[in-house]
Structure 1
Amino acid sequence: MSVALDQTSKVSSRRAQSVLTSPLALLAAAVVIVFLLLIVPLRLPVGPMYWDVFIYYDAANRIFDGQVPINDFFVPVGPLGYYLFAGWVALFPNGHPVLLAHWSLLAITAPAMAAIVWHVDQRSRFTAFALLIPFLIFALLPFNTREMYTYPGSDGFGIYNRQACQMLYVLVAAFTFVRDRRLLVGLIAICMGSLFFLKITGFLAAGMICAYALIAGRVTLRDALIVAVVFMAIIAGMEVSSGMVDRYVDDILMLISLNSGSLLPRILQASSLSFGIVGSAGTLVLVLLWSDWRRLGMQPVEKSSVLTCDSLWLAVVLTAGILYETQNTGSQAFIFLWPVLLAILLKTSRIANKPALVLIISALVAAAALPPAIRIIERTARTYLGAIKNVAMDQRNLKTLGVLNMRPDVEARTDHMMRFYPEHGKLYEELADINELPTPLLYSDFDFQIGYLRGVDTAIDSIREIETKADIRFDTIMSLNFVNPFPWLMERSAPLHVAIGADPGRAVPPPGPQEEQAVADTDLVLLPTCPPTANNKILYTLYEPALTKHRRIKLDACYDAFIHPKFDTVLGPDIIPTN
């Protein structure tokens, strides 16, 4: 009896140890760490184009107000990312903006990867970990694979680009390693539905991969039809419930018209920016094609055998990646090559009698797979270790948007520039007149990002001073700028129909009657002047016809304000803030 109990205890112990050392345990631990880090207000270093993350707060604030993306305001990408972010902000109000935005997609990718690694773990624990660990590097570390500035800092931009890359990683991993029909169909439907509402160019890249998977027999026609039916059911449900899909397609066509241009230069740019990865993966395709040609040439083969070759599968995924990157600035470029590269690496044991070929394939796999992970790990270490001597940003009204630190020299330069801008406004106005920035890297400059936040902080004080003196409240606030954090920070509303992420020429359609009426009805419209820029001038020109009845005042040194005429009798003719 004691022997039987002892054996049972050993079996239970081995099972418990197996569970604790499984890929699922690692994934669960990572998710728990994410939750813990979002509970406390971490102070992160400022980064280039940090203000991109403010777009998510603008969207979340509108969603909390009852506005529906696409229907009620123009969005530069799909609505899914904004809904996910709004949900995570509600759960973790103290979470840092960069971390919240980057990690919000885990609500979809973590369960999907859990299903994949659970399925793969039943055949090979090594392969399951080999899929999971790179995914966690990309999903947990909030950095792009390419630096946009010389100083290390948090990447608050390109978030939806790298989230689409992570969804593509899940999709390619499913096609490459999932053998269960029902699981594969479910994963494809989840990935395609998510990518459609996340970023349309990611959806198109995934469509290319799915089309080849069907042709090559990685998925049957029946399963493809099931996926299509499920996807169309999702689309139909969204259209019937909100009318969003039809407008979404219209917005996509509008964005295409605003961003029209030759595709070839964009392909060359995307390839050159990641030349090491593209060159290595492309060379690997050629080596594998030569190897497959020699192997298949020695025996009669069917067309399906040729199409299932790893060389062609890698070529398709690589091409999809290049096309996707033609539309991106910040991204985690080509991370979804890894599942295919892993499958190729695992098969090299079959040609162990050709050590030279094994060495070449292994070297090319490493050259294509390692750079994204190494760059992100390196950037993470450089950013956070380098922040030890950083100084905290002082702020009064910025909530978590201002929980930042910076190098002392950035703080000193910001102090200088915030005094310089108002004194030399004419110079910057003349630059804006010729459609030039003071420097092409203005929006990447850390001092600009900190200066912008300081300007917002002071403007909120100025607005509240007016409201207190006149006993009024500006319920709707708009900013003639790329971002509009004021409604979120002041717990107000943003006007309907106005674009978020207002980049004129790329993501701001010409305003129609709806937009003009919404702007005309807005209580307070703000124009930043530290410094005046061409984009802000263009936005003012676009909306100027709707502001003819608003009263323009100098709010403070860095902001002009347009006040709705309904406040004229309360404010009087000489209302000017004291600061």
Structure 2
Amino acid sequence: MALALLLILPLTVPIGAMYWDLFIYFDAANRIFAGQVPGVDFFTPVGPLGYWLFALVERIFPSGQPLLLAQWSLFIVTGPLIGLVLADVDKRSRALALALLGPFLVFQLLPFNVTPFYSFPSVDGFGIYNRQLTEILYVLAAALIFAASRRVILAVVVGTMLALFLTKVTGFFAGGLLCVVALAARRIDLRLSLLAAAAFVAVLAVLEVSLGVVSAYVGDIVALLGMNEGSLLPRFLQAASIHFAVFGPLSALMLALLVIDGPDIADAARTLLRAPGWASLARLVDRPVVWLAAATFAALFVETQNTGGQGFIFLWPMLLMAWTRRGAIAGTRLGLVAILIAACSLPYFIEVTTRAARAFVGQMKYERLASDHLGQLGQVAQRPEIIQHARVMKKIYEDHPATYEAVAKAGELPNFTLYTEPDFQLTWLMAVDEAVGAIKAFETANDVRFGTIMNLNFVNPFPWLLQRQAPRLIAIGADPYRAVPDPDADVLAAVGDTDLILYPRCPITGANDTLRSFYEAALRAKTKISLSPCWDAYVDPAVAAKTF
């Protein structure tokens, strides 16, 4: 009820690094409302679930702050499932149920990543997919370790594995690893595994028959793998270094548990070798050090793809397991285990809650972005001097395009961390506001209406803002270096049929030039016009003739 009330209110949040990632959801929602299916009718960087949830919640709360809509929409999935787990655990231990609930609520409610990219108080409009993965994995881990009811475990395994698959496939593989450990540890048996697999396949079969979304999604995954080839080892090392504040203590905790539990592990291994079987395998596997090792690897694997999110938060149930199964450990050893568990769990909790508190307090002195045409997209705020800086930079981009064109041709950005800076995100929103006004003025002056609109940029918010259509088959979240396949004849035909294609100039960047080159064959039939100081446009020659 509290969240619903907050989504009814036109709240603002302090805009942060790479905030424009959030606007991918509006592009997707606009397409979904028009009857398009993610993966089938447009290329997506991840699975369809997050877009479907956002579209649903956006329809219910049309004035909600966009980031809160995206962050809290996952409650539709995780809320009922964690409720099942907590109700089951609460029958045995209220304290344990609350210990599982507290961290889940903190990370699910607060739209912050565990690694900051900007020093001023602000929210994180990027890494949303990765946050969703770890929040779903948290529910799965809690069920596999602490739930006793077979029905609860079955429901949670099916629900979370479907959600992981339909959100991002790396999370699905991470969840699969946890399920394999649970099977070996006899937390789930073969019959329950088969039931879960059958239910999983049945749901996907329904989605495939009714929408064709599963095969399209798999095709998108294959295409993305082809665009992101490379060794995984450097990515594992990068993820470990970025998250060393937790990875380091985790490694120390696993080493300590391995030493403390060493004799029993050795005895269990000898028993397994002498008498192989499920019981002896479970005795070897079902222990905190094994669960922690598997979950740590799973977390690193998730972070190898698009580092950013909430990292290792789903290891909290494993840390609770290490404490509740401390057994005869006492004295110095118990103190060491307690300190290491705290060192593993507190950094993320402190980082997220501290950043949330700073953002809440800081926004009291922030200024809301003024706009005429941004609607929900403009529900952001920032320090007045940063907003002023954004205005000044927009004017400089307008007056000195040759400078930034030279920078783009050199393969560089005006600033190496350009997209992480809120002033750029504000400049971009100001330019979008300008473009919407210019499009409306152009249509009025020339008695024309652009039914389909495309943007040669990372994000295309214009169909949403103008209540128009986006062209089919075009990638959303258009990062030309990682997430835009080479266009085929159908894609080029869709681009050629688009009424208005925008090209941003504030600033000119290599990424936008690369996108334009992708679709150059379709743009040849268009005429380029100057729509506003920050925007060129490609339109039908007959429309361009009206302006002369």
Alignment-derived partner of residue 346 in structure 1: 324
Give matches, 1:138-157, under 5 Å: 138-157=107-126
> Could you give the per-residue CA deviations for residues 66-109 of structure 1, whole angstroms, max 9, x where no partner exists?
11110000000000000000000000001001100111100000
Q: Which of residues 236, 239, 259 in structure 1 aligns to 2:208?
A: 239
Contact 2:184 2:281 in 1 (8 A): no
Q: Is the 8 A contact 1:521 1:564 kept in 2?
A: no
Shift of 1:573: 4.8
Distance of 1:485 and 1:465 partners within structure 2:
18
Question: In the alignment, what sits opposite 2:486?
Answer: 510
What CA distance in whole angstroms lies between the structure 2 residues aligned with 1:83 and 1:342?
33
Alignment of 1:351-500 (within 5 A): 351=328, 354-500=330-476
Structure 1 letter corresponding to 2:147? V
Partners in 2 of 1:565 and 1:553 — Cα distance? 10
The 1-side partners of 2:492 and 2:542 are apart by 17
Please state if 1:136 is matched with 2:137.
no
- Which residue pairs with 1:127 in the alignment? 96
8 Å CA contact retained: 2:459, 2:477: yes
Aligned match of 1:572 = 546
Q: How has the CA–CA distance of structure 1 residues 142 and 557 changed in structure 2, closer, same or farther, with 3 Å as cutoff?
A: same
Matched, 1:333 2:302: no
Taking the aligned partners of 2:429 and 2:501, their CA distance within structure 1 comes to 17
Q: CA deviation at 1:351?
A: 2.1
Matched to 2:423, the amino acid is D
Change (3 A) 1:297 1:471: closer
Aligned to 1:307: 285
The Cα offsets for residues 487-531 of structure 1, whole Å up to 9 and x where unpaired, read as 000100000000000001200000001110000000000000001
Cα offset for 1:53? Answer: 0.6
SS at match of 1:562: strand
Cα deviation, residue 298, structure 1: 6.9
Question: Alignment partner for residue 555 of structure 1, among 528, 531, 535?
Answer: 531
8 Å CA contact 1:277, 1:369 repeated in 2:
yes
Q: For 2:239 and 2:59, how far apart are their aligned partners in 1?
A: 37
For 1:155 and 1:413, how far apart are their aligned partners in 2? 21
Question: Distance in 1 between the 2:156 and 2:311 partners?
Answer: 22
CA distance in 2, matches of 1:298, 1:316: 21
* Distance change >3 Å, CA 297–CA 204, structure 1 → 2: closer
CA positional deviation for 1:320: 0.7
Task: Tell me by how many angstroms 1:347 deviates.
Answer: 2.4
Residues 31-62 of structure 1, C-alpha deviations (whole Å, 9 max, x = no match): x2111100000011111111111000000000
Which of 494, 499, 511 is residue 523 of structure 1 equivalent to? 499
Distance 1:471 1:306 in 2: 75
Larger-gyration structure (1/2): 1
Aligned pair 1:40/2:9, yes or no?
yes
Q: Give the aligned partner of residue 275 of structure 2.
A: none
Question: What is the TM-score with the length of structure 2 in the denominator?
Answer: 0.96
Structure 1: tracts of 5 or more residues without a match: 1-31, 575-579
2:285 and 2:547 map into 1 onto residues whose CA distance is 76
Separation (CA, whole Å) in 2 of partners of 1:287 and 1:89:
48
Q: In the TM superposition, what is the alpha-carbon distance from 1:343 to its structure 2 partner?
A: 1.4
Q: Which one of 217, 223, 229 corresponds to residue 198 of structure 2?
A: 229
Q: The residue matched to 2:121 in structure 1 has which SS?
A: coil
What is the CA–CA distance in structure 1 between the aligned matches of 2:107 and 2:68, rounded to whole Å?
Answer: 13
Contact 1:292–1:309 (CA under 8 A) maintained in structure 2: no
1:68 aligns with 37
| Native 8 Å contact 2:446 2:546 kept in 1 | no
Cross-structure match for 2:277: none
Distance 2:245 2:58 in 1: 38
Residue identity in the other structure for 1:572:
K
The separation in 1 between residues aligned to 2:19 and 2:164, in whole angstroms, is: 24
- 2:50 aligned partner, one-letter code: G
Taking the aligned partners of 2:496 and 2:267, their CA distance within structure 1 comes to 75
Residue identity in the other structure for 1:46: I
How far 1:369 moved relative to its partner? 0.9
Q: Amino acid of the residue matched to residue 175 of structure 2?
A: A
State the identity %: 46
Q: Secondary structure at the match of 2:519?
A: helix
Q: CA deviation at 1:310?
A: 1.4
Aligned length: 539
Match of 1:176 in 2: 145
Deviation at 1:150?
A: 1.9
Cα distance in 1 for residues equivalent to 2:522 and 2:241 = 44
Whether 2:244 is the aligned partner of 1:275: answer yes
Letter in 1 for 2:298: A
Judge conservation of contact 1:476–1:522 (CA < 8 Å) in 2.
yes
Instruction: Give the Cα separation in 2 of the matches to 1:296 and 1:545.
Output: 64
C-alpha distance in structure 2 between counterparts of 1:203 and 1:241, whole Å: 22
Aligned 1:194-273 pairs, distance under 5 A: 194-273=163-242
Residue 151 of structure 1: CA displacement? 1.7
Q: Deviations over 1:185-222 (max 9, x none)?
A: 11101010111001111001111111122122221011
Greater shift in the superposed pair: 126-135 or 418-427 = 418-427
Question: Which AA in structure 1 matches 2:159?
Answer: I
- CA–CA distance in structure 1, aligned partners of residues 500 and 427 of structure 2: 22
Matched AA of 2:320:
L
Give the counterpart letter for 2:56 in structure 1. G
RMSD: 1.3
Structure-1 separation of matches of 2:328 and 2:79: 35
Of 407-416 and 355-364, more deviation after overlay is shown by: 407-416
Cα shift readout 1:352-390 (whole Å, capped 9, x = no counterpart): 5x2111101111111111111111001101112112211
Q: Among residues 68, 84, 90, which one is paired with 1:115 in the alignment?
A: 84
The aligned amino acid for 1:351 is A
- Output one character per residue of 1:157-193: Cα deviation in whole Å (capped at 9) or x when no partner: 1111100100000000000100111110111010101
User: Normalising to structure 1: TM-score of the pair?
Assistant: 0.91
Deviation of 1:565 after TM superposition, in Å, equals 3.3
Secondary structure of the 1:351 match is: coil
1:96 to 2:65 alignment: yes
Q: Which of 291, 300, 319 lines up with 1:322 in the alignment?
A: 300
Deviation string, structure 1 residues 137-171 (Cα, Å, up to 9, x no partner):
00001111111112221211111110010000000
Q: What is the identity, as a one-letter code, of the residue corresponding to 1:289?
A: L
Whole-Å Cα distance in 2 between the matches of residues 468 and 312 of structure 1?
Answer: 67
Q: Counterpart of 1:561 in 2: which secondary structure?
A: strand
Give the C-alpha shift of residue 457 in structure 1: 0.7
**Kept in 1: contact 2:42–2:475 (CA 8 A):** yes
Following superposition, the deviation at residue 566 of structure 1 comes to: 4.8
Kept after mapping to 2: 8 A contact 1:102/1:139 = yes
CA distance in 2, matches of 1:340, 1:261: 31
CA distance in 2, matches of 1:534, 1:287: 50
